[in-house]
Structure 1
Amino acid sequence: MGLLTKAAAVVVPIGLVVGGIAYGVSRHSASSDSTLGQCTTKVDGLTVVLTAEQARNASLISAISIRRGMPAHAATIALATALQESKLYNLRGGDRDSLGLFQQRHSQGWGTRQQILDPVHATNAFYDALARVPGYETLPVTVAAQRVQRSGYPSAYAVYESDARALASALTGYSPAAFSCHLSAATGTPAPAAQRAVRLRRALAPAFGATAVSVASGSHLDLAAANRTRGWALASYVVSHASALGVSGVSYDGRSWTAGSDRGWQSGGQRSGATGSAADVVVD
Structure 2
Amino acid sequence: MPEPSPSRKRRGRLLRSGAACVVLTAVAGYVAVQYVTGGAGDPGCRVVSAEGGGPEYEFTPEQAVNAATIAAVGTDRGMPQRAVTIALATALQESALRNLGHGDRDSLGLFQQRPSQGWGTERQVTNPTYAADVFYAHLAKVRDYTELPLTVAAQRVQRSGYPEAYAKHEPDATLLAAALTGTSAATLTCEGVPASATATGPEAVRAALARDFGREAAQRARAEGARSQDSPSDDSKAGDSKAGDSKADDDKADDDKATGADVPAAETSGRTVTLPLSEGGSTGGRAVGERGWQLAHWAVANASALHIERVVYAGREWTAGHTDSRWRPAEDSGTEAAGVTGTGSSAGSGANAVRIVTAR
Q: TM-score band, normalised by the shorter chain?
A: 0.7 to 0.9
Return structure 1 stretches of 4+ with deviation > 4 angstroms.
Answer: 25-28, 185-188, 270-274
Q: Residue 73 of structure 1: which of 66, 69, 82 is its match?
A: 82
| TM-score (normalised: structure 1) | 0.82
Higher helix proportion (structure 1 or 2): 2
Instruction: Specify the alignment match of 2:308 in structure 1.
Output: 247
Return the offset for 1:62.
0.7
Identity of aligned residues (%): 46
Which amino acid in structure 2 is aligned with residue 72 of structure 1?
A: Q
> Does the alignment pair 1:283 with 2:283?
no
The aligned counterpart of 1:223 is 275
1:212 and 2:231 are equivalent in the alignment: no
Q: Return closer, same or farther for 1:156/1:219 CA change in 2, 3 Å cut-off.
A: closer
Q: Which residue, out of 45, 68, 84, partners 1:39?
A: 45
Query: For residue 208 of structure 2, what is the aligned residue in structure 1?
Result: 203
Unaligned runs of 5+ in 1: 1-10, 17-22, 29-34
The Cα shift of 1:12 comes to 8.7
Task: Say if 2:163 is the partner of 1:154.
Answer: yes
- Cα pair distance change 1:114/1:186, threshold 3 Å: closer
After superposition, the Cα gap between the structure-2 partners of 1:185 and 1:73, relative to the gap in structure 1 and judged at 3 Å, is same
Q: Kindly state the Cα deviation for residue 243 of structure 1 after the two structures are TM-superposed.
A: 2.2
Residues 172-183 of structure 1 correspond to what in structure 2 (within 5 A)? 172-183=181-192
Q: Equivalents in 2 of 1:129, 1:47: separation in Å?
A: 30
Per the TM alignment, residue 140 of structure 1 is displaced from its structure 2 partner at its CA by 1.6
In 1: Cα distance, 2:203 partner to 2:165 partner: 41
What TM-score, normalized to structure 2? 0.65
Q: Does 1:164 align with 2:173?
A: yes
Deviation of residue 275 (structure 1)?
3.1
2:290 is aligned with 1:237:
no
Matched, 1:114 2:123: yes
- How large is the Cα RMSD of the aligned pairs? 2.6
Secondary structure of the 2:183 match is: coil
Q: Which has the higher contact order (CA 8 A, sep 6+)?
A: 2
Q: Which runs of 5+ in 2 are unaligned?
A: 1-29, 215-262, 278-282, 333-343
Measured after TM superposition, the shift of residue 13 of structure 1 is 8.2
Pair member with larger Rg: 2
1:262 Cα shift? 2.5
Please tell me whether the aligned partners of residues 44 and 191 of structure 2 are also in contact (alpha carbons under 8 angstroms): yes
| d(CA) in 1 for partners of 2:313, 2:91 | 29
Q: How does 1:263-282 map to 2 (within 5 A)?
A: 263-269=324-330, 275-276=347-348, 278-282=351-355
Aligned positions, number: 255
CA, structure 1 residues 281+265, in 2 after alignment: closer, same or farther (shift >3 Å)?
farther
The 3-state SS of whatever aligns with 1:98 is: coil
What is the identity, as a one-letter code, of the residue corresponding to 1:261? H
The superposition leaves residues 74-104 of structure 1 with CA deviations (integer Å, 9 ceiling, x where unpaired) of 1100011001111111111111111111111
